[in-house]
Amino acid sequence: MSRQVDGVARMRTLQVVVLIVFGVIALRVAYLQLIDRRYADIARGNTLRHEVQYPSRGEVFDRHGEFLVQSRECYDLMVVYRDLNPDGFDTLRFCGVTGIDSGILTRRLADARMHSRTPHMVMGYMSKEDKLRFDECNFDGFYTIYRTVRQYPRKVGGNLLGYVGEVNPDMIKRYPSYRAGEYVGMSGVESAYEEELRGKKGVKISEVDAHGTIQQSYENGGFDSLPVPGRSIVCTIDAELQLFAEELMAGKVGAVVAIEPSTGEILVMVSSPTYDPDELVGRERGNHYMELLRNKRNPLFNRSVSARYPPGSTFKLVQGLIGLEEGVLHPGQRYVCHEGYQVGRQRVKCHSHDSPLDLRFAVATSCNAYFCYVFRNILENPKYGGSQNGFEVWKEYVRSFGFGRKLDSDFLGEGNGYIPDKEFYDKRYRKSWNALTLLSLSIGQGELGCTPLQMANLAAIVANRGYYYIPHIVRSVEGQDSLDRRFYERHYTKVSPKHFEPIVQGMWQGVHEAGGTSGVAFLPGLDVCGKTGTAQNPHGQDHSTFLSFAPKDNPRIAISVYVENGGFGASMAAPIASLIEEQYLTDTVKRPWLVDMIKQKRIYYPVYDK
């Protein structure tokens, strides 16, 4: 009897377990069907296509409203491998319609096969005409996405404007908002103002059939979002002047930077050699980029903000100003020059001119000996107790002019230049050095290194009699009331404004009076002030450089020109600067013979042309 009872109990237990299992299954099915929409969404996702809607990139204008960079229509050709019909796919016909190489197509499809549900780009930069021809063929699994591509109406300012390229894996890791196949500013204004120019992506969700053909918009577009175009930018650049400067610098290696002293706005920024920015757009971009990369003159390197050059005699302006502020020099102080400065066996050569001479005439004639005296007086000032302490004081003055550090402009890749410090000389000379050891610094040689932007800023400082606005390349951004406040603040040097007048007068005499080295820069009625520089070069002919601003009172333009291997400052850099000033201030050039001579001049460079 007990065995019979035990059997019934076990049977009922088994029945309860079975009922519980079936109950759990029924509840789970009901939950999935009525509550949990995850699998339904996955199923629906298999029939939905999410298409990124790329915004138009913001356009760039010059200071007069002329287009520097525009956007034009183009398309990316995409594939979802799962929707492809391999048996019915005619490779030859597809390549004939699209113009893509069959080998490239094979590689792109192999990549797409690895993630068959994800869209992959097969080809970029498809024109509107090619897109319409492609649409007529109806290839399963393929579709196009609208986007814009850059074009450059004036074909100027390659290094200045920069270029746009596809994001690489490193960028995607640093900036998660970017996705493979998207484009980003890689250099110049395009990179510096990427956030303003790029805009905001949108999305379009469509229902597609088993062949990848769009049937309708999902939920009547309720989940779509429109792209937001990038904001347009007005540059400080004068396009006409930029083009003229680039033409003058053709066949030469160097840089031109011109600044409006009253605002810090950059009027011209030329790095030579430059390149046609349209070459870095489209399907041949990669080939053109490699050609530019192999060019020994390195046209992709922006010399105007990154190169480090010895400033040469233009740096004498700084020496004179420091001497005046320190009280070791007064404008009427005279020194003799017997074609150079000599102490013992150490000699700094100078060209022939009248002697003795005062500060103004020393600036006008670019006397080396005069500024050797001034430099020694600064470092050997008794109140500092030795040349090494005096050097530290000198260095801080120099830094206040913007040398040896970045100016904090809005241009990426800005270089520091180089001003040596006490530790550098302690290591080189084992702490045994004095003013005579560093004498080459007095004439802008030795270890000094300055960017053309820093030298143009020096011209602006002298033009303003002691202060500068941070140089910047953008004047305004659409929808933005003003730029960063730092661009509106005056930055003063450590030299009082009163000490600038004799330096300005010396620069004026250099252009307007007999014996001055800057006579080629003379422009009737414009009161041009200038200072030539000839920087020694161990790799060939000396570098030619020139600083200038005009007019003397209420100046409108300050400019620096640097031509590698160009010889004397007056032979190459000064004429180029003068022509640019003439064009800007008078809107014409009355010396066509000089324009032709400069344009035809091609310089051999031992470093680049071997």
pLDDT in tens, 105-119: 888 888 888 887 778
Which of 122-136, 165-179, 236-250 comes out lowest in average pLDDT?
Answer: 165-179
What does the pLDDT read at residue 588? 94
What does the pLDDT read at residue 366? 94
Any idea of the CA torsion for 575, 577, 580, 581, to the nearest 10 degrees? Answer: -110
Mean pLDDT of 84-99: 83
Given a contact cutoff of 8 angstroms between Cβ atoms, the answer to whether 354 and 434 are in contact is: no
Burial of 259 (0-12, 13-18, 19+ CB in 10 A): buried
- pLDDT tens digit sequence for 319-341: 999 999 999 999 999 999 988 89
CA angle 164, 166, 171 (to 5 degrees): 105
Q: How many residues does the chain have?
A: 610
- pLDDT tens digit sequence for 127-153: 888 888 888 888 888 888 888 888 898
Query: Is 1 a residue whose pLDDT tops 60?
Result: no
Alpha-carbon distance of 327 to 401, in angstroms, equals: 18
Query: Is 270 a residue whose pLDDT tops 90?
Result: yes
What does the pLDDT read at residue 43? 47
Mean pLDDT of 366-389: 95
DSSP 542: P
Query: Is 518 a residue whose pLDDT tops 60?
Result: yes
- pLDDT tens digit sequence for 461-512: 999 999 999 999 999 999 998 899 999 999 999 999 999 999 999 999 999 9
Alpha helices in 175-259 (DSSP H): 188-192, 194-198, 239-248
Domains of the chain: 51-235 (3.90.1310.10), 239-600 (3.40.710.10)
DSSP 409: -
**Cα 333 to chain center, whole Å?**
44
Closest CA to 304 of 188, 153, 464, 467: 188
Query: Is 169 a residue whose pLDDT tops 90?
Result: no
Kindly report the number of other CB atoms within 10 A of residue 307's CB atom.
Answer: 22
